[in-house]
Structure 1
């Protein structure tokens, strides 16, 4: 355990520092059965300018805490210049900086790291902190504050339950909570939902189609452009750039399956989508963060025809012009039901996860509750004036 009097905080500058930054959680969580080791090359890609296109509109500084000759904590401090241009009432806005990727052995180490991140943000003229974001709102936002008893699904975070009192003890107050819903997909949805879906299936104006993977680049751009429109009024929204859309599409291509991503068209116009991913974490749990020497072959073999317990819905959206209409909920239920059927019959799935959903997003929460969803994880985003 580290003593605050012996802790030093240094900037990450060298390749060795970056390796230490990425490797630290592997030691801290080695006895946590619900922590899923991320692929280390993916984490390196997240934090490296030139690899992650977020750095085209953002600036970050990584820090390591050291005591007795070893690393005992880490944190990132960062500014998203696109976030600074967003309306204040939507959570971001001028003067808002962030920190994230926090890991620490003790409260004293966490406090020292947070203070160093705050100092960096003050020097950059930031007046408020919104955290943790690792690194953008589109990556792993929020601190896990409920749901420590089971592993996260793909693209969701996990952290020690100790961090909540440590962060709140550093003067941070909750500003927003993000929810995930566990869905029992092996049973049919309630009768009301079934009637709504059947009505939509009889409507010749509506077509629910599979994504065309042979034209994946264009399909990814279509989906993410709907997303940018659909989420543009949401709290915390920062638009995805063309570079980020291309980057996300490339990253997801290997775990995209045509029957798990659907696009809803109304009179030939794409107006909504739902993206579902097989829970890759079920495989990564035993890989130790590396695809070497033979994990890459195991993963490629599994990806050919994955059988997976859990399917996760990370993204879903309906164009704003349709959001206040009855059609919006009908399309949502149709997308969910069509994918549910294939998830069971083709992939052997028995469980779904839906989210994250903002705590005040009443329409999406209503959808989750209508299909018998139960909140299984809560992530909290905090704020503090500087």
Structure 2
């Protein structure tokens, strides 16, 4: 086989960014479970002018070439916010795509490792595409079903290739699936009834969308602050997310629970964009955008995803915290059923988050995919 060369690219160059985005298409051409991403969304995600995360990322990207064609890709990044709140010296790799070829994997990962080591990083973790608040973790179980929106997909050999290069799993994250017609357990009904006079669940006010999303950001950063690898979402990042989601979701799919009149928990439900975009090959033009609008706004997909949920830390681990969680789950369940959703993914959940796992497993949800964050020590 001809040799592989790895070359750095600049996302500011439009053609190079497009080449980087297009790498996965031939790799998954015969995988019926893969769902092509929306090319425009990926283009914006990888642009320093359009993705606020670049404000706190030091990032580099590379393409692997063979026979004049790009066959693989990878990024390496250092998150300055994480560096401020975590004592360990950690860098990320992400956006990894490659054929089942040891030479390609070795050269791509070695390039990312060297770049990080040159900047004083002791340990590499990933994949993070591009931060822990984006698509993250490598699929290691659950290859027989398509991913939900904003979740990754991979071939089984990806994990094998990384492990052969000295990478080891450091954290597993689970995706759960639940039938939206689930019945509320008696324990859930009793807990919610106990605090019925104190808890009020309401949808966001679309007239105050920016303020409401800033409130949710505050709830999220507080609720997730003690989670493994946590990096708070900046106001600019969350506003950018809100500007995207407001075109995809109905206001009643974002619910806020108030305890004695004060915001204490939230939940966000999304129609599964991957189902709606299943046959447009990632292209919005000339007809893809009309299919998406119809399927998201009129028909509504039969599947959905809950990517964000949180209860303030002050209430976590107790009965009141469970009541708040059950209250927003129950309200969103009814709204999704009203929109016609029959199934929902809840993701991601840390495998050692026993409290949340017990709550959702008690509703009948089952873990059907596992995403793994890999790690490797870097030699000085």
- Shorter-chain TM-score category? over 0.9
Query: Separation in 2 of the partners of 1:360 and 1:132?
Result: 19
User: After the TM superposition, which segments of 4 or more aligned residues of structure 1 sit over 6 Å from their partners?
Assistant: none
Query: Separation in 2 of the partners of 1:303 and 1:11?
Result: 38
Q: In the alignment, which residue of structure 2 is the partner of 1:60?
A: 59
Question: SS of the counterpart of 2:23?
Answer: helix
Q: 1:149 aligns with which of 144, 149, 152?
A: 144
Tell whether 2:137 aligns with 1:137.
no
Shift of 1:198: 3.7
What are the residue-to-residue correspondences of 1:152-167 with 2, within 5 Å? 152-167=147-162
Question: SS of the counterpart of 1:137?
Answer: coil
Shift of 1:256: 2.2
Q: In the alignment, which residue of structure 2 is the partner of 1:182?
A: 177
Question: SS of the counterpart of 2:76?
Answer: strand
TM-score after normalising by structure 2: 0.96
TM-score after normalising by structure 1: 0.94
Number of equivalenced pairs = 375
Q: In the alignment, which residue of structure 2 is the partner of 1:384?
A: 376
**142-151 or 324-333, larger mean C-alpha shift:** 324-333
What are the residue-to-residue correspondences of 1:207-356 with 2, within 5 Å? 207-344=200-337, 346-356=338-348
Gaps in structure 2 of 5+ consecutive residues: none
Q: Is the 8 A contact 1:254 1:303 kept in 2?
A: no
Q: In the alignment, which residue of structure 2 is the partner of 1:374?
A: 366
Q: In the alignment, which residue of structure 1 is the partner of 2:37?
A: 38
Q: CA RMSD in A?
A: 1.3
Q: In the alignment, which residue of structure 2 is the partner of 1:19?
A: 18
Shift of 1:355: 1.4
Q: Is the 8 A contact 1:197 1:337 kept in 2?
A: no
Q: In the alignment, which residue of structure 2 is the partner of 1:9?
A: 6
Gaps in structure 1 of 5+ consecutive residues: none
Question: SS of the counterpart of 2:246?
Answer: helix
Which digits, 9 at most, give the CA deviation of each residue in 1:231-276, with x for residues without a partner? 1111010011111111111111112222211100011100100111
Which digits, 9 at most, give the CA deviation of each residue in 1:206-255, with x for residues without a partner? 10111112211111111111000111111010011111111111111112
**241-250 or 12-21, larger mean C-alpha shift:** 12-21
Q: In the alignment, which residue of structure 2 is the partner of 1:102?
A: 96
Q: In the alignment, which residue of structure 1 is the partner of 2:73?
A: 74
Q: Is the 8 A contact 2:205 2:212 kept in 1?
A: yes
